[in-house]
Each structure stands twice: as C-alpha cells, then as structure tokens.
Amino acid sequence: MHGISIGSVSPPRTATGTPRRRWRGGEAWARDSNAALERAGIEDRVDHRTLVAQRDEALELAAAARERGDEGAELRETVQAVELNCPPLPQLSSGA
C-alpha cells in the first residue's frame, strides 16, 4: 500500500468556510478518503499514521517474511520501509 497526496481533499471547514485550526483528521479522515478512492477505482490509499509508524510496520512484515522464507514479500516490505525513511512533506494549509 502506498500513500498518496490528494490536492482536492482538505480539512473540514467551519460554517463560515474557514479551515478549522485544530483539525486532526486522523483515522476517520483516512477511512473516508480511502472509501472515496475505492469508489473512484483508484488503488492507492491514504494512511493516517506517521511515516515512522508505517516504516516500523514494513520492517516487522519484512522480518516475518524472512522468517517464513518468503523472499519476495521480504523484498517488497524492505523496499517499502526504505521509501518511508524520509522527512514528511511540509504542511501547506494555513489551518494546519
């Protein structure tokens, strides 16, 4: 699963249209975004977790694949962990 950036999706806004300042989209936002992506036939998914948490999971999955002798899965998860070993993108919205 690879995360994607969705330029047309923004945090909730107040009744006046201004972004909510303390919005923390988290799991619910990711779930709703992923449902919309699925309906649109897009395979990529949004992950609300930090890059560190996602990388740690990929490393755990790679270790488990290595233990069971699945070299293909080990390679995929290791590559995923390497891709996630980067700084996060900067927050671009004024309400973030």
Q: Are 40 and 34 in contact (CB under 8 A)?
A: no
The model's pLDDT over 67-93, given as tens digits with 9 standing for 90+, comes to: 999 999 999 999 999 999 988 878 777
d(CA 32, CA 52): 22
Tell me, rounded to whole angstroms, the distance of Cα 46 from its chain centroid: 4
Residue 14 has pLDDT above 70, yes or no: no
Q: What is the DSSP letter of 49?
A: S
User: Which of 47-51, 56-60, 65-69 has the lowest average pLDDT?
Assistant: 47-51
Residue 64 pLDDT > 70: yes
Vertex 48 angle, CA 44 and 53, to 5°: 105
**pLDDT top residue among 5 and 28:** 28
Judged on CB neighbours under 10 Å (0-12, 13-18, 19+), 58 is buried
* Helices (H), ranges, the chain: 26-39, 51-67, 71-84
